[in-house]
Structure 1
Amino acid sequence: MTTPADVHDVRDPALPGRLLEAERDELLPLLRSRSADDLALPVAACPGWTARDLLAHCAAAFTRVLEGRLEKGVFTAESNERDIAERAGWDVPRVLDELERGMTGVGPLIARADGVLDLLALGEWVHAGDLRETFGVPGAYAGAGLVHALPLLAQVTRVQDHLPLHADLDDTDAPLRLGAAPGDRTPARYIGPAPVLVRLYGGRATAPSGYELAGATAEELSLFGW
């Protein structure tokens, strides 16, 4: 897998949609094969939520975008809980159908949002990793979507003016530049696997070994308030 070093410089509006479509094709068959007991498992990355709750949250988020219901206060903890409660009486196939419809249809809407919703696509992909980890599936934050997730991560961190970071990844041929253009702060440096980098930016716990991070703390990298 090759990640161009200059993806930092230009926003690709179609990138979030490509990521979600690639993830849809991998994730939905996995979800449709899981038992009710699997969907009742707690998700470590989302305290208080089961796998089914997380599915309901993701499906609802996409539906809000499709329906243009992005009013002030959306995606807060309270809003997320309301979305989950609204789907509590749905059967699982209905939730999965909503999720599939969203992952298929939101790409063009995110593309037209000038970067405002790019983080939503990245966040939902990280949540897919949360589900894989909950089910004990290997490669939780990797898979076919990683080739799209890495440049999207660079894109999102640039739009957010996040701290600059230079990543030398074990599983790509070129370094990845993330965050703001270098200025007063010397870019931080990461060396290690791409999935661990995703975990760090996602605020997910990771083993203290297996990667090197200098010039920043793991807490500083986190993009999400989960």
Structure 2
Amino acid sequence: MTSAEVRDPDLPGRLLILERDALIPLLRSRPDADFALPAAACPGWSVRDVLAHCSSALSRVVESRFEKGVFSPESNDRDIAERADWTNQQVVDELERGMTEAGPVIAKAGGVLDMVALGEWVHAGDVRDVFGEPGAYAGPGLPDALALLARITREKAHVPLHADLDDMDEPLRLGEASGERTPARFIGDAATLVRLYAGRPFEGLDFELAGVEAGELNIFG
């Protein structure tokens, strides 16, 4: 079995810790005005809204609060509204706690919450993208994020794809592994691949994609 086929229960928590150590100091260094900037990857949301969604989602994981409809658009909007009176730094405090404490809970859940960690990592990329920071959808957590993405797409029987990544030594195989469908092909950098699977803007980026439409790759849509 490959690493993409065997679940590493500690991987989601490790990804969150890596991102915590990079993202939280960045957020604490930004002025309040930056939290009001629109998040291009999440239409209708500001940077603060993205962070409030992330912090509330992790708090739900840590506290095992999963009522009916949790993580739906309506639930996400309610979570954000509940934090409307918080300061930006209170939102960052909650996010830091969640990124620190959610890993063991996700590990014990057997895989059903692994996608939460990947979503948090992607949203951190959304924030970096708004700020014009290097490493959006990349950075130290990228290898773990790619391993998690490969396993999630396999488990979802997603469209098979062979990715030749400019910035990685080995090709990455994603999606259904049955061999019944000829794999699509991606050539480009890993951050762009993440953008495609997360349904993020990719206009103007240099990559090749054959055998599948970009919209078919989105695992969050």
Class of the TM-score when normalised by the shorter of the 2 chains: over 0.9
What amino acid sits opposite 1:92 in the alignment? N
RMSD: 1.3
What amino acid sits opposite 1:174 in the alignment? E
Alignment correspondent of 2:130: 134
Tell me how far 1:183 sits from its aligned partner: 2.6
Tell me how far 1:115 sits from its aligned partner: 1.4
Pairing partner for 1:98 from 94, 104, 110: 94
Query: Contact (CA 8 Å) 1:166, 1:177: kept in 2 or not?
Result: yes
Alignment correspondent of 2:84: 88
Tell me how far 1:57 sits from its aligned partner: 0.5
What amino acid sits opposite 2:165 in the alignment? L
TM-score, normalised relative to structure 1: 0.94
Tell me how far 1:7 sits from its aligned partner: 2.2
Percentage of matched positions with identical amino acids:
65
What amino acid sits opposite 2:26 in the alignment? L
Give the distance between the partners of 2:107 and 2:143, measured in 1 at CA: 18
Tell me how far 1:214 sits from its aligned partner: 1.1
Question: Which structure 1 residue ranges, 5 or more long, are not aligned?
Answer: none
TM-score, normalised relative to structure 2: 0.96
Query: Contact (CA 8 Å) 1:166, 1:189: kept in 2 or not?
Result: yes
Tell me how far 1:182 sits from its aligned partner: 3.4
Is residue 163 of structure 2 the alignment partner of residue 170 of structure 1?
no
How many residue pairs end up in the alignment?
221
Q: Which structure's relative contact order is higher, taking Cα pairs within 8 Å and 6+ residues apart?
A: 1
Give the distance between the partners of 2:155 and 2:204, measured in 1 at CA: 29
Alignment correspondent of 2:70: 74
Tell me how far 1:208 sits from its aligned partner: 5.0
Alignment correspondent of 2:104: 108
Question: Which structure 2 residue ranges, 5 or more long, are not aligned?
Answer: none
Give the distance between the partners of 2:172 and 2:28, measured in 1 at CA: 34
In terms of mean alpha carbon deviation, does 152-161 or 193-202 score higher? 152-161
After superposition, give the CA deviation of every residue in 1:121-172 in whole Å (9 maximum; x if it has no partner).
1011000000011111122111111121110111111121111111111111
Give the distance between the partners of 1:187 and 1:10, measured in 2 at CA: 21
Is residue 216 of structure 2 the alignment partner of residue 220 of structure 1?
yes
